[in-house]
Every structure is written in C-alpha cells, then in structure tokens.
Structure 1
C-alpha cells in the first residue's frame, strides 16, 4: 500500500512538472506576442460568432422535443403518429355579441348564415374562390390527406353543417356502392347518380337559406352545442372554434409550400387575417392558437426576450465591475473572454447543427457569471503575487538599508520576465483552482446530458451548451486574462481592509454560523414537498401572447383545449368485414366504453359515433316506399326493427325477402354500417380511423387544470381502458396525447430535478475527494453547496416562485456555480494551512474575489427582471438568491465547519484551543533560545 502511494505521488510530481513546463512555454509564447494572440482569437470568435447569429434557426419548438423519452404516453403518441395526425390547431372565434350583447343581438349568433359563411370561407369549401392559396381556405383540398394544404381534417360548427348538408349525396352514393343483395333501384337511381358529381345531394358548403341552417341545427340532436357557446347568458351562441388537424411538423415540408410549422402558421394567420377576408366576411374576431402554435410563439417571445435582456445583462455586469474596481480596464479584461466564449459556443452549436430549444436562454447569464468568476480570480491572484513580491523586495531592501548592505533591485511591475513568472505562479495556484472548478462544473453539468437520467431533451440541450460554453470560457480566460492585463497595463488596487476583520468571524463564531445554517437547513428539509408542486403552464407565460390567451379562454369556455386520445384497435377482431372497424359489434363496444369515460368529471369524447349521431338520414322500404326510419345514422343502425318482428316493425319484415336466405334485414344491416361510414366525409374518416380501417381513434377533451387533479382523472380513465373488452379481438391503448403527455413531462421534470441534484452531489463529492486527496476535505467542500440546495424549497414556498421546466435545472446549475466558490476557498485554505490563522487568511484573500464574482453574476441575472415571462423571472430570482447563498456558505459556513471539526477533535483529545490568532501574551518557554537585538 505504501509503495503504491509513493508511486502515485511520484507520477503526480512528474505530471505536475511536465504541466508546469508546458504552461511556461505556452505563456512565454503568448506574452511574447500578445497582440498577435489577441487578434487571432478575435478573428476566430468573430467568424464563429457570425455563424452563431443564426442560432435561432437551430431552436426546435415542436411538441415532440418536450416529450419525455421512454414514457408510455410518448411511445403511444409515436404509434398514433404513424397513422394519424396528433397536431391539432385551433381558430378561436368570437362574434361581436360576445363583447356587447346589447348592441349586437340575435343577428350575430354563430349559427347566422353570414357568420357560418365567414367561418367556412377560412376553412375551405366547394364554393367558388379567387386564385391563390390565401383565398381558398386552409383545407382547400379535401382529398389530399394533407399533402397539398397541410391540413388533414377540420372540425367546427360550420364543418358539421357542411357535413350534414352534403351527407345525403354521400349516403346515396354509399347505397349504390354497398348494394349487396338489396333491391335499391326503386329508391335510388344509381345510373343518374353516376352522372352527378354531388350525388344529387347538397354541396359541401353552407346553405344560403337561414331556414335550411336552422333545420340542420335542429337535426343535429344537440351535437352542435358542444361546438358553440353563449358566454354572456343572453341566449345567443357567440363563441366557437375551428379545430384543425395538421400533418406533423416533420412532414410539412412535403407540401412544397412551407418548410416548417413557423411558415405554415404564418400562412394560417394570413388566411384568417381580417384584411385577407372578403369585406362581407369580417364580422368575427379570429385568433390562431393550439399547443404547437403556443410553443412557436413562446419560442419567438423568448428569443426576443433574450435580445432585450442581453444588453441589459451586459450593462449591469459592466456597471458592477466598474463600481467594484473603479477601472474600465478590468471590464475589458473580464468581459472580452466571456463575449468571445459566447460567440464560439453558439457558433459551434450552429456549425455542428446541435438541437437547441427555447430553454437555451438560461445558458447566457450562467456563462457570463462563470466567465467573470474565472477572470476575476485570475486577475486578483496575478495582482496579489506581484504586490507580494514587490512588497517583499521593498521590505528586504529596508532591512538591508538598516544593516548598511547593498540593496537589491526592486522588480519592475511591467518587466516581461517578472510578469511571466507571476502569471506562472498564478497558474500553479489559483489557475489550478480555476481548472478544478471548471472541470467539476463540467462534470456537474454533464449529468444534464445523460439520457438515462434526463428524459427531457430541452434540458439535455442546455446541459450540452453549458458544457461547451464552460470549456470555451475556461480556455479564453486562461489565455486572454494575462494578455489583456499586459496590453492594458492594468494594476489592481488592494482589497478593502474590512476583509481582515470579516475573515475571522466564521472561525471565532463558528457555533453561531452553524446554528443559523442548521436552522435554515432544517426548515428547508421540512418544506421539501414544495419541489413536488406540479409544473405550471399558462401562468408562467406573459400576458401579451394572443395564442396563449385564446387557449386559456377556449379551455374555460368549452371545458376543452387539452386533447388526449386512445387507440381502439380491432385488427384482430373476428369479422367478415375487410375493414374491421366497420363491424357493428366493434362500434357498439366503442360506444359502451365512451359512455363510461364520459362519466368522468370534465371529460368529453369524440369518435366515429359522435359524427354518426350528428348526420340525419331518412330510410325508405324499397318496394312499398314506406318511410321506415327518420333520424340519424347511429340511430338507424340500432333501430330495433332490424331484429324485431313486432307489429310496429311490420313494414320492415318485407326486407327479409331481399335476400335469398330470408335474412335480408340481417345482411342489410351489416351493409348499412358501411353505408353509414361512407356517408361521412373523407376528412372525418381520416381524422378518426386509419387507412386500413382496422383502428380508430377516440379523442378525449378536458380543460387545462391543476395537474394533481388531472392526474386522478387520467388514472380513472386508464383504469377503464385497461379493463378487458367483452367483444373479443379488440385492444384498447392507455390514454395518450395532451393530458398524459403533460403529466409525463411534469413527472419527467420532477424526476430530472431529483435525479440530477442527487447524482451531481454524489459525483462532485467523489471528484472533490480525489482533487483534495481527502475524503474529509471532499465532503466539507460540498457541504456549502448541499446546504443551499436544501434551502431552495424555502424560496419556492415564500412567494410566486413555482416549479417549471427552467427551475427544474436549478439544483445542478447551482452546484455548478456554487462549487466554484467552495473550491477556491478550500484550495486557498490548503495553501495557507488548516489553522485558525490560515483559514482567516484564506477567507480574507478569496472572500473579496468571490464577493465580486457573486455581485457581478447576480447583477447579470438581474436583467431577468426585464423579461416578460413569469417562469423565466422565477428562474432568475431563484438563481440570484441561491448564488448569493453560495457566496455566504462558501465564505462563512465552510470555514465554520472546518473549525468545528478541529475544535471537537481537539477537545476529545484534550489538546489546547484551536482558535488562536496569535493575539495573546507570549510566555517564555524552556525550549526558547535568546536572539541578539540589533540597535540602529
């Protein structure tokens, strides 16, 4: 064991000597040509910075990017994606009656034919239009499956009315396509239908007559009431919405018209813009919203916030540095490496085409803070070394003068060799501390990159950017700080004398500091459940995003907005139908399940059955012409006379003769399922079933609500979906889409917050033990950082600071920044010695620098108060407070803990007091030897 230790020490010595030799060579070359070095780095950073100006194009704000990898809801959503669209947009529409019911009365009802025409115009219908895609509605091609116009389907009150208005033609065509053994020639002239493109039915358009519209509304069996609402209680439907099923973001470029959702959403906004609509179609107010649209708008708003915030952050940083140092030179020295590192970092992300997310805004102030930290520690140490050497030379000359000896040459402050030697000493001391702190910070932030730990891609992208940024900041600081000090001939003033007395406080009064920190830590532990608060959404966004405001209003008005879904898979159902979903037994099983789910609070469902119930139909016996049924398609399929031979069903019995086996009604009923299905328009079919007709989607809509309450609703629904279906061969998936994904994102973020914090604590503690070659010192170094993480819940419970996707990263980020302070203090304690005097000197020498870096970082983060996002403001408030606490715990709690350790161990061993600053009387000792006095 001893040999291994000696071998390790020898290898460490050799590595240290080689490193020092290499550093000496590098700094000799750099300082020999400082201007050339600066110019080359400026060119490099300017080139990458120019590339980095396009980093906004790297920001991905699709819904998928926020989905937690590996979550069941994510996997199900991807399964749904293979055959359906799950991106749903909304056009939120309000008539003037919603704002002023006294002035705008019944004529402004949503079912008014003029308003319906207006809604239909922006959707797209069979009426004549002007040339140009902006004049033909969003879904101008109903049969393209979204390949031309990007829209798969549209659901709205206008669409339902158009669906019903044109259903008779599709019904007649379906009767001809699915004749089977039926005799239909007496009812429908199929030859004439073949010559008519509309099937002798109505157009897919809003009727011009108000009476026809009113008739359709009455025939809809109340289904339209879910699509239009009276918001002011005057009996007039004044608010509605158009639901738009869009092809996925990774397919939108296949249309050949738009490259991404950003361009497509701009097209939607142009179509619904009042100036784009014909003059007669400008009665309503339309707002484009939906989850994808909100994310797009939020991303743009964050980018604009970033542009507004950066100058403020830089100004505040410069202001604080100037006030603390009273020199513009130190602003250049500490600021230049940061600006260059940021340029290189974001240029590299664009050059390597790294995936970025709106959360990238969080990296800017963090990198600025770390950059200032590295630079100021190096500046202060170089100046300290120079002052110490010059002061030592002056003191030695004073002694020589008194003794009448020849005086030595006092080093010139700007002598190249002297300056390089001071830089080298800095690199051997503070430089090592900076390197260690950067390395440990990189290790800490690397936790955010691990897919097994962090399932949320946006958080991983922040971790990756931070790691790259920290490495760039370290390299630029190590090179440029000595170069800029030399070029600017910067000479720092001495530290304020107050740190001499402050530095003794954590040693003298260690018990007070421990008691105070312990009390706060205990309170933090008691409030740990604050970190389990559900992730908040709409209340974390600014008030001036129309899409978010419209979504909140839509959610409140329609008890919807959060669209979930589940797959109803009948591919293994035993049926003679090629398309299994068209089996009546399958549809009945779906209906039974839907009815149970609809009993769950705040929950509505939409499926094939919803549309079959909305489409009216009249069924006539082919030979006698007697009207057998007048109702809707779903009711027709469940008319009791298909099976009953009662007197009331006498007119139905002749249908049995239409089949050779005498079971005409049974065969006809099976065929009528196909007729009913094909009566629905293609876009409705594509919305609700796959191309093979083996699976169906059931949409489940709920309002946005507190996720704790929503979680219980999801569990209730999943319990129902998990129960075996009585009809054999049917598989029902768990719920996916809006609510489950929101809950899984919430869980993923909380898990990320917990796992990353604990794992970072563990990893950094192990690293510290190796760095300081002591388990004891490694643990003590992490105590200040661990303490402030435990204090975080107190801040979460003390105001409007809530959990969000930004604050979930706080633990790891504070570890990254806070451990820097602790490393610098501990490293200096090792230099000065682990005594009362040594620790007070360490605090005196590093305290001012840590205070300066903390004040500068907090000032830079203060620009966060100027952003419009409450979620970001919360993030920056937490960061500022916790970084401030990191300063206090590193400078005061860490020495207090070490002092307590020594005091306790000395008392156990019965040794003398540890707290001795050499201020007491000096007593003689038998071991003392006399010293000759020199009298001048």
Structure 2
C-alpha cells in the first residue's frame, strides 16, 4: 500500500481503456480510423501540458498517439500526418512486440481489427465525470465502434447496478417479512409495530453516514447495511410486542411498561454484543470494511434505542392485541428436552463434516471480474480485451534510479525478460518498451531528415 501511494503521487494508476473495433473491410491502421481515434483523444485530453490538472487525463497511449508523437518528433506537429508519412511510421512499428499491446488481428485474416486507447487519470480526478465525458466522446464515432472499459468503468457499472438491484430487493424484503408477520399474528398492527421502527432506524443510519461522508469511504458494499440492520433489529420490536401480548394486566400502560422492563436487559445485551462484533471491522486497514463496521455498529444501537422508545408508543396508539397463536409452538419446546442426546449427536456429526470435508474446500482467491454483472458492456469488453490481448488488470513496479542512465535501462530490460520467462502470459510495458517500439532505421531516418531539411529550407555545407 505504501509503495502504491508513492507511485500515485507521480503516476496515474487509474486506467480507463477504450476498446476499439472496426468492420471487416477496415483496418485499425487506416488513415480515417487513426484520425477518428485521434479526434476522440483530443476531445478528452485537450491540454497536453497540464498532466491532468485541467482535463483529468494525465496521458494517452494508443497507436494513434504514438504516431502523433513520432510525427511531432520528426519535424511535424502533434497530429496524424498524411498517408505517406503514416505508412512510413507504421512500417517501422510493424512487428514490434510492444505494438501488439495496442492493436490486434483477432481473427487471423491479416488485418488489425481491434485496438485499445489507454488513458491514465491523476489521483484527485473525478472519475465519474471523466467516465461520463468519455462515454459522450465515443458515441460520436462514425467508423469505429468504441466501448469504455477498465477498472474505473467496471467499478462504476458495479456501483450503479448494485443500487439498482438494492432498490428491487428492499421492497421485496419488507413485503415478505410483512406476510410472515401477518401469518403468525393475523393483525396488521403488529406488522406496523415491527417494520416501522426498522425502516426509521435504517433511514437514520444512512442519514448519519451522509453527515460523515467526508471522513469515511462509502463503497457500494455499504448497501449491505440495510438488510443486516433489518435482520438484527426487527427482533427487538417483536420481543417487546410479544411480551406485551403475554402480560395479564388489563391496563395497557402498565402492560407496556412491564413488557419493556422484562426484555430491556436482554435486547440491550444482544444489541451491544452484536454492535461490538461488527465494530471489530473498524480495526483493519481496509477503509470500506471500516465504514461497514462503523455503520452497522451505529445502526444496531440505533435499532435498540428506536425499538425501546418507538415500539411502546405504537403499541399504545394502535391498541395492539394478539389475536392468534399457533398451538403447535407450545409442544415445540419439549422437543430439545426429550431428544437432547440425539440432537447433540446430529450436531457433532455436522461439525465433523464441516471441519473435515467442507472447510478445506474454502478458497480465498476469486476472479473479481466474474463477480461483476456479466451483461454490462464494460465487463464484456474487458473480458474480450483480456482474452484477445492477453492483458487485464495492470500491476506496477517502482524503479528508484536514474532512468536516463544506460545501466538503469538495461536493468529494466533484464527484469522484463525475467518476467516474460517466469510468467509467459504477463505483458510488460516500460520506457524501454516504448523506446524499442519507436525504432527507426537508417533509411527512414534519412528520409525524415531530408524532409525536415526541405521543409525548413536548411542550407547544408558543401562537404556533406
């Protein structure tokens, strides 16, 4: 984490990838395609000297940006040159291993039909705003088909889908719970008494998170707080209301006071121990887990406070009276007493099976992209990019040395070779790779030099 933070001080680690495809009759290296890619890049990275301070794009790496860099370095400007010079540059880039990270012939027909545009964002960039701008930019293409992907795009899609699914699940949670409560109590009053405090506690908890949003990291997983609070908190209201129904005193106020006194210590102890258990998540260094633990600890105690204060009020206002009781529940209490040895034996068997058979099968490694919604375009294209370009989530290695030194560059090249040997499917890209990709032979160098001389009317000495 410390190394990553050090890297993020000077280099962008959040990478947006635009996956580019063309039709069967087109090639990524065709001049109109390169120009269209360039127009998208210029619309997003409109300030080349601010390193992302104004446009939130630190750099762009693509076949079109490399051609523009070479054109700029050989007497032209930072743009796609004419077809003759573009073909000249492409002829020198052809066959480069580094170039295969940017363009690909995916169907083996001899034409490059896919490409990627990689864009780095600075640490303080508003990722949502950049992604929205990128989505708008890729919509206005006529030749290419462009899809925004990469980790920021996938995280945005996951976050949006999570909240969409949450909005579908929460109403169902309340509806099914209401049906169960009505089935066992046969009165809508109990449904209101049990559910209203929980809804209030959930809203209060999320409202409190909104107040402290500048001090905590609110990740999409925070929505798990709502169903967990609902599950843990609804019991408090049921304990109080059921105890109220069991009281024999006719006076409603006395029955309410007695029922609260009877269960108050028990529900307080269960609430405080549960809150402390979730508060233990705050000890770790993962900020999203800290927020979840913090929200659950606050929310569970809020459920207890609201239950012991609001439930008695609702009982009195609604004049709650239990109308129905399942007779079979009375006999259920005798089952564990009459079958204690059998129950202990079955429990022991399940424990042995869990420890000996099931527990060793638990694995912590997981493909997090498979956890994302598989019908999202950004996820589909990321998987396609990973398969066709043998690429995926980038890793980084920090080199602390003089990168202008030949020995440093040679060491970087050696490390890249070692990575390729030990992990054949891992692709590396560094300043060394870019230098190799931009190789220019003597013939091309001469042609470019003569072009510069002619363009600027340079007079050469007689002895040349």
TM-score by length of 2: 0.90
Aligned to 2:304: 474
> Secondary structure of the residue that 1:323 maps to in structure 2?
helix
Partner of 2:8: 81
Aligned to 2:46: 140
Q: 8 Å contact 1:381–1:426 — kept in the other structure?
A: yes
Name the counterpart of 1:363. 225
Q: Secondary structure at the match of 1:528?
A: helix
- Aligned match for 2:105, one of 226, 230, 234: 230
Structure 1 residues 61-112: Cα deviation after superposition (integer angstroms, max 9, x where no partner): xxxxxxxxxxxxx111101112111111100111123xxxxxxx3xx11111
Match of 2:344 among 492, 511, 514: 514
Aligned length: 442
Could you report, residue by residue, the CA deviation over 1:337-389 in whole angstroms, capped at 9, with x for unpaired residues?
11211121111111233522111111111111223211111111111123xx5
Query: Offset at 1:494?
Result: 4.8
- 8 Å Cα contact 1:617-1:631 kept in structure 2: no
Q: 1:143 to 1:564 in 2, by over 3 A?
A: same
Q: CA distance change for structure 1 residues 422 and 446 in 2, over 3 Å: closer, same or farther?
A: same
Deviations 1:35-63 (A, max 9, x none): xxxxxxxxxxxxxxxxxxxxxxxxxxxxx
Conservation of the 8 A alpha-carbon contact between 1:139 and 1:149: yes
Q: Where does residue 585 of structure 1 map in the other structure? A: 407
2:460 maps to what in 1?
A: none
User: Which aligned pairs between 1:269-308 and structure 2 lie closer than 5 A?
Assistant: 269-274=135-140, 277=141, 282-308=142-168
Q: CA 1:365–1:509 in structure 2 vs 1: closer, same or farther (change >3 Å)?
A: same
Distance in 2 (alpha carbons) for counterparts of 1:605 and 1:631:
32
Q: Which residue of 2 is the match for residue 449 of structure 1?
A: 282
Deviation at 1:544, TM superposition (A): 2.8
Using the alignment, how far apart are the partners of 2:285 and 2:359 within structure 1?
22
Deviation at 1:427, TM superposition (A): 2.8
Q: Which residue of 2 aligns with 1:852?
A: none
In 2, distance between residues paired with 1:370 and 1:597? 50
- Equivalent residue for 1:538? 369
Distance 1:216 1:568 in 2: 30
Identify the range of structure 1 (557-566 vs 538-547) with the bigger mean alpha-carbon deviation. Answer: 538-547
Question: Who wins on radius of gyration, i.e. which is larger?
Answer: 1
Q: Does 2:133 correspond to 1:267?
A: yes
Q: CA offset at residue 266 of structure 1?
A: 0.7
- Partners of 2:363 and 2:397 in 1: how far apart? 28
Aligned-pair distance for 1:226? 2.9
Q: CA deviation at 1:628?
A: 12
Q: 1:493-540 deviations in whole A, cap 9, x for unaligned?
A: 353111222211111111211111111111111221333331331221
- Residue of structure 1 aligned with 2:22, choices 95, 107, 114: 95
Name the CA distance, whole Å, in 1 between partners of 2:409 and 2:269: 66
Alignment partners' CA distance in 2, 1:581 and 1:266: 36
Query: 2:298 & 2:272 partners in 1: Cα distance?
Result: 12
Matched, 1:218 2:80: no
CA RMSD, aligned part only?
2.1
CA contact (8 A) 2:186 2:324 kept: no
1:608 is aligned to 2:426 = no
- Kindly provide the CA deviation profile for residues 400-441 of structure 1, in whole angstroms up to 9, marking residues without a partner as x: xxxxxxxxxxxxx3xxxx333323332333222111111111
Taking the aligned partners of 1:588 and 1:218, their CA distance within structure 2 comes to 26
Check conservation: 2:92, 2:440, Cα contact below 8 A: no
Native 8 Å contact 1:616 1:631 kept in 2 = no
For the residue of structure 2 that corresponds to 1:566, the secondary structure is coil
Unmatched tracts of structure 2, length 5 or more: 449-464
Q: Would the aligned equivalents of 2:18 and 2:148 in 1 still touch at CA under 8 Å?
A: yes
- Equivalent residue number for residue 180 of structure 2: 320
Q: Name the SS of the counterpart of 2:311 in structure 1.
A: helix
CA distance in 1 between counterparts of 2:119 and 2:444 reads 37
Task: Flag as ranges the 4+ runs of structure 1 deviating above 6 A.
Answer: 627-632
Alignment correspondent of 2:203: 343
Give the conservation status (yes or no) of the 8 Å contact 2:88–2:444.
no
Q: Distance in 2 between matches of 1:539 and 1:120?
A: 32
Kindly indicate whether the alpha-carbon contact (under 8 Å) linking 2:64 and 2:80 is maintained by their aligned counterparts in 1: yes
Q: Is residue 377–residue 430 contact of structure 1 (8 Å, CA) maintained in 2?
A: yes
Q: Say which of 16, 20, 38 aligns to 1:120.
A: 38
> Secondary structure in 1 aligned to 2:53?
coil
Provide the residue aligned with 2:454 in structure 1: none
Change in CA separation of 1:589 and 1:262 when aligned onto 2, cut-off 3 Å: same
**SS of residue in 2 equivalent to 1:569:** coil
Equivalent residue number for residue 552 of structure 1: 383
1:202 aligns with 2:202: no
Q: Decide whether aligned partners of structure 1 residues 530 and 536 sit closer, same or farther in structure 2, where only a CA change above 3 A counts.
A: farther
1:310 aligns with 2:216: no
Please give the alpha-carbon distance, in whole angstroms, between the structure 1 residues aligned to 2:109 and 2:319.
78
Task: State the Cα distance separating 1:610 from its structure 2 match.
Answer: 1.3
- The separation in 2 between residues aligned to 1:240 and 1:556, in whole angstroms, is 13
Shift of 1:138: 1.2
Q: Give secondary structure in 1 for the equivalent of 2:10.
A: coil
Change (3 A) 1:525 1:630: farther
Matched, 1:166 2:28: no
Distance in 1 (alpha carbons) for counterparts of 2:360 and 2:320:
50
Describe how 1:239-278 pairs up with structure 2 within 5 A.
239-248=114-123, 250=124, 252=125, 260-274=126-140, 277=141
Q: Structure 1: how far apart are the matches of 2:138 and 2:128?
A: 16
Per-residue displacement from partner, 1:453-503 (whole Å, max 9, x unpaired)? x23221221111111111111111111212111111111035311122221
SS in 1 for 2:395: strand
Q: What secondary structure does 2:407 align onto?
A: helix
Aligned mates of 1:245, 1:330 — CA distance in 2: 56
Which deviations, in whole Å up to 9, do the C-alpha atoms of 1:804-828 show, x marking residues without a partner? xxxxxxxxxxxxxxxxxxxxxxxxx
